[in-house]
Amino acid sequence: MSRDIISLEKLPLGSIGRVKELITEGIARRRMLDLGLIQDTIIKPLMKSPAGDPIAYEIRGAVIALRSDEASKILVERAQLN
């Protein structure tokens, strides 16, 4: 079974990802952790803004918007809910 790990901004709308790694440091990392982006958290891209950036994501029942440069630093594994 191969793991399909991609950066969050490449996860297609309507699909599901599971957070695997944050590749950022400092305040940006702290903000992501405060938003609940810890290992194995389920995240779903919901919609893109008309310009395509930012993208709204559902994380732990909340909807947050992340710009592509922030989402590119979050590695996720494609997942399926059982």
CATH topology of domain 5-79: SH3 type barrels. (2.30.30)
DSSP 6-64: EEGGGSPTT-EEEEEEE---HHHHHHHHHTT--TT-EEEEEEE-TTS-SEEEEETTEEE
Grade residue 69 by pLDDT with cuts at 50, 70 and 90: very high
- The whole-model pTM stands at 0.85
Instruction: Look at the block and give the residue holding tokens 């997942």.
Output: 79
Render pLDDT for 4-18 as a digit per residue (tens, 0 to 9). 899 999 999 989 999
Please give the average per-residue pLDDT across 11-31, as a whole number: 93
